[in-house]
Amino acid sequence: MTALDIVRIPVLSDNYVWLVHEPGSGATMVVDPAVADPVLAAAKERGWTITDIWNTHWHPDHTGGNAAIKEATGCTITGPAAEYERIPTLDVQVKGGDTVRLGSHSAEVWDVPAHTAGHIAYHFADDRAIFVGDTMFAMGCGRLFEGTAEQMFDNMQRLGTLDDATRVYCAHEYTLSNARFAVTVEPDNAELAARLAAVEAARGAGEATVPTSIGEERATNPFLRAASAQELGRIRALKDAA
């Protein structure tokens, strides 16, 4: 099975759209297109034709490019069944436990509510890759806009079961602010201090810091490392107030 080609497209102030190409079939999928033009341009530059859009949740900075990309390409749009009323462009509704395919590669849909009530993720187990939207960030997690700390804790626990090498494709470049906050939560975590220094250098050079990996997050993400939902909620409240 050929490996997926995954391209990071920076848009807006801090969003990342992911362009995913399956060389065997030529199928090309976009995860959470905030806008259309940079995504269409990136695909055209590579000679790829967009066949699918996969949304993780309804927020406009994850779905704003849906209609224009569909108009330009005729692609199929897949997203969370629980949020179909808020994503009018959806063609296919999916929920936790469903399987979606990109060429010969398959991904399991995970229900990961908390940031939004119907948020989902797409896990390519064979590729050791997961597209998490705004559920997990490098050294962070999403705000609890429509869910609870208990739900987010459950999400973190499930993500923590994945192999250390699993790449985590999140949707925002929040890493520096997350790292600076995380060291206040775990000031004695040497791996976290080292990662903060590395992130400061990368961002200073204009480099992206994602995807991250489950192994990196296991060592340095205070939300993944939280021992209980109560602890996660306390840390999330501190981050919201920071």
Active site residue 123: no
Active site residue 105: no
* Gap between the terminal Cα atoms of the chain: 45
Task: Please pick, among 21, 52, 105, 115, the residue that the annotation labels catalytic.
Answer: 115
**Token pair belonging to 116:** 């939004």
Bond preceding residue 113 cis, omega within 30 of 0: no
| 3-class secondary structure, 29 | strand
Task: Please pick, among 59, 105, 119, 123, the residue that the annotation labels catalytic.
Answer: 59
Pairwise CA distance, residues 38 & 42, whole Å: 6
Which residues are within 8 A (CB) of 172 and not within 5 positions of it... i.e. 6 or more apart?
Answer: 14, 15, 16, 134, 137
Task: Please pick, among 32, 52, 57, 127, the residue that the annotation labels catalytic.
Answer: 57
CB atoms within 10 A of CB 190: 9
Task: Please pick, among 111, 127, 134, 154, the residue that the annotation labels catalytic.
Answer: 134
Which positions are catalytic?
Answer: 57, 59, 61-62, 115, 134, 172
